[in-house]
Chains A and B, each alone.
Chain A
Amino acid sequence: MIRILVRYSVLFVLTLLVLTALSFVLAYLFPGDVLVNLSGITPENEVQRDALVRQYRLDQSYLIQFWHYLQQLMNGNWGYSFTSGLPLREEVGLALPATIEISTYAMLMALFIGLPVGYYAGIRSYSLSDRTINSVSLISYSVPVFWLALVLILFFSLELGVAPLSGRISLMFDIPSVTGFILIDILLSEHIDHGLALRDALHHLLLPTLAIGTITTAAMIRITRRSVIDVLQKPYIAAARARGLSRPQIFVRHVMRNASLPILPLMAIQITTLITNAMIVETLFSWPGIGNWLIQAIYQRDYPALRIGMLAVSTLVISLTILVDMFNRMLDPGRERFERGAI
């Protein structure tokens, strides 16, 4: 157990180091002035420039520069956005939780719908209902997420008018960002009608969650179904059946637990897809998340923002992946790490 923990911590730190190094190198790779790319401040005169060069140790060797960069990151000095002039830490701090929030809800949707449906399809494998579920999930899995989002907007917002299409909450509400998670922030804020605000926020959550969640749910169904079918073909199921266990008994005692184990690492891969999809969908729903922010940054060629945004998103995704992987490894030490399968 401790061995695994240590191994994964080392892996985690190493990966973070590589990522930080990458983001440092980006400052050199991006077009324009390295100093501006690193700091986000355009020096107005030579004196200020020299001061900044000294501050960022640009007059010293690359290794020292990197060491200094690392320290700055640790201290929370991430530089400034080139276009808004605000500290990047603040901007990422506002945007990242919004993405995490929407992804969490989509993941919850996948768990609450995908898992049961997947189990059901797996147990009824090759029956009509299984084929239907399988086909529907394959279809949902093939829909381009941006198109799905547009279709949802067209149908639910413009035709039926049941759901709003932009943002996290009506702009009439002025909710100060404390945790970055809108539902919690609403509960924490004062001087507003909490019921009204919560209803408004949930209303806004509906379509983006549906757009991202559909694809993850489809993936979840397929993974679960496959896993259940694999388990059902195992000799110990035949043995249990021979012993005269009823189907619910077999399901609860053998299938459910054994089928759940391979799902976890496969879901870890879905995290990447999920966050990518969330980032794309954000731009359509004007969701103030990191994807929207990064895409605005690339349109505006805001290099300091891209540098930090890349670091933040990849750190998030990789931490989650490693965490899930470690968790899985602890539960099931015999398994080959990072098992990847077809969906």
Chain B
Amino acid sequence: MIPRSQLTFPLFFITALCLLSGCTQSADDAFYQSGVIYCSESNPVYFNPQLDTSSTTTDATSHQLYDRLLDFEPDSGRIVPSLASSWMISDDGLTYTFQLRKDVSFHSTSYFTPTRNFNADDIIFSINRWRLPSHPYHPVSGGRYPYFESLGLADNIASVERINGYRVEITLRQRDSSFLANLATDFSVILSKEYADQLLKQGIPARLDQFPIGTGPFRFVGHRKDHYIRYHRHPDYWQNKHSAEQLIFDITPRSSLRLAKLITGECDATAFPAQTELNVIRNRENLMLAEKPGLNIGFWAFNTQRPPFDNPDVRRALAFAIDKNTLLEAVYFGSATRAKTLLPAASWAYQDDADDTAYNPVLARKLLDDAGIEPGFSMTIWAMPVERAYNPNATKMAELIQRYLADVGIRATIVSYDWSTFRRHLRDGLHDSVLIGWSADNGDPDNFYRPLLSCSAIPSGTNRAMWCNEDYEQLINQALQTDEIEKRRAIYRQANRLLYEKLPLVPIAHAYRYQAYREVLSGMAINPYGGVRFSGVKKAQ
């Protein structure tokens, strides 16, 4: 005989597990409602967006930890006051004077307690850090400021002067019609000079970018790589919006897992829902999907410094070998429009009748033959490992392109690394071609043309084509000398023509931007200009 108890034991065990883990779901709701959890896709590289243009970094930092001098109004894109309460521009368009807000306090955390409020010194420190190579903080954390470098902004600023504690004057060397917009982007954040000085004295300046102090709606509590970032509400936030007590970024690289967490309620909002999942979100009653046409572009860039991709004919051949419409359908599932130029239709400089490449494998093969590329030539396609609005599934797109290239006798290998490694290798120019893209930080067309293809954007790592062309440089510089929209539009038309001839990159798509969140969140809105904002977002009681 077998003792009965042996049979009942497993049952007992399961019941016990159930009881302990609360198969009866009566959680302390108030506690779970005090914080907002956002499922993000990757780790920020630094907690300072000056140092990195990836939207992972800006999402996690810009609007959570920091403020800028100016802001974009999310709906109209108009520039509105933020830390600067007002500003004046001199008649020659070279001198900008900013009046600063008073009573703005920095975060008080376990590692820093501010003794003074925000003032002009913080502005000067924040700008000079990226502007002046001689600044003690300039070389800290790698010393690269990709956004500002790619715009050549540092060279154009002649001086940043303190008029008094709450008034700053910035003088430019040349007119720059996009200057104010640049100050309102995610990257132009204001750091605390007092904190920086303190760290410098202690000999650990690099902590400035890992343990951040800002004036934003949340203060930094902790970050565990690949797991989470934890923020608490900044109790003395000057805008005094009623944000959640805690803001947590749950780092979840797989988009399917992010959606799963959104469904189970482990996340309240998620980054980059995959295009294939949009209908799942729409069909669920307790999930919300916000969508807006995005200011972005997904493209296929060739490393123009590597033969044979230095030959425009080879690039043209490759562009003719792929069918963009198919890519749009298969990768974006109709949530994007075909890109002809760098600019999306939402931009005022959009050119509707621009030239575009068409699918023509026969012509492609002929061009390749003419350029001396034998069938069986092999190349790499780098597919970025993260989802972006402008390219929700680069690997899939790469696989599609791989097939198209096979049709014209080119063997393509797909290369992918972890996101930060990927970008490091890209900056070093190890790729033949890459599928990547760009989300605009402001509505100005210069924000597409300059960071993506100007010479100064090569070392800063946003010019993925590693392309440098004098005619192009001249055109885009010329466009900034004037405020007249028609003149600028004509210049950008010329630039489009030049780009079509040289094809350093193949524009593929302008995608819609999506944000998925649970119904219980109030105050969520898509910010078309750059990163996500959680100021004022709360869970409903």
Contacts and interface: CB of A to CB of B under 8 A. Distances in A.
A and B touch in the complex (CB under 8 A): yes
A18 B335 CA distance: 56
Contact of A172 (B22, B34, B252, B420): B34
Nearest to A296: B226
Interface string A140-170: 0000000000000100011001111111001
**6 closest cross-chain pairs (CB), A and B:** A202-B21, A300-B418, A116-B6, A299-B418, A84-B225, A199-B22
Interface in B253-307: 257, 260-261, 263-264, 266
Interface in B13-47: 13, 17, 20-23, 25, 27-28, 31-32, 34-35, 37
Nearest to A119: B6
B221 A174 contact: yes
28 contacts: A81-B225, A86-B225, A109-B13, A113-B9, A120-B7, A165-B260, A166-B252, A167-B227, A167-B266, A170-B32, A170-B266, A171-B228, A172-B246, A172-B248, A193-B31, A196-B27, A199-B20, A199-B21, A199-B27, A202-B20, A202-B21, A206-B17, A206-B21, A286-B257, A293-B226, A299-B385, A300-B417, A301-B421
Contacts of B221: 174
A247 interface: yes
- Interface size range of chain A in the complex: 35 or more
Q: Is the interface of A mostly helix, strand, loop or mixed?
A: helix
Contacts of A83: 225, 418, 420
Interface string A297-331: 00111000000000000000000000000000000
Given A170-B266, A206-B21, A284-B257, 17 more contacts: A83-B420, A84-B225, A112-B10, A117-B6, A158-B264, A164-B264, A170-B32, A171-B248, A172-B31, A174-B230, A193-B28, A196-B27, A202-B17, A203-B21, A286-B227, A288-B226, A292-B226
B224 interface: yes
Interface of A: 81, 83-86, 94, 109, 112-113, 116-117, 119-120, 123-124, 153, 157-158, 161-167, 170-172, 174, 193, 196, 198-200, 202-203, 205-206, 246-248, 251, 284, 286, 288, 292-293, 296, 299-301
- Interface size range of chain B in the complex: 35 or more
A167 B252 CA distance: 11
Contact of B2 (A86, A123, A202): A123
B3 A248 contact: yes
Contacts of B246: 172
Among B20, B210, B226, B246, the one with the most A-chain Cβ atoms within 10 Å of its Cβ is B226
Nearest to B3: A248
A124 B3 CA distance: 12
A113 B264 contact: no
B10 A117 contact: yes
Contacts of B2: 120, 123-124, 251
Nearest to A295: B226
B194 interface: no
B13 A196 contact: no
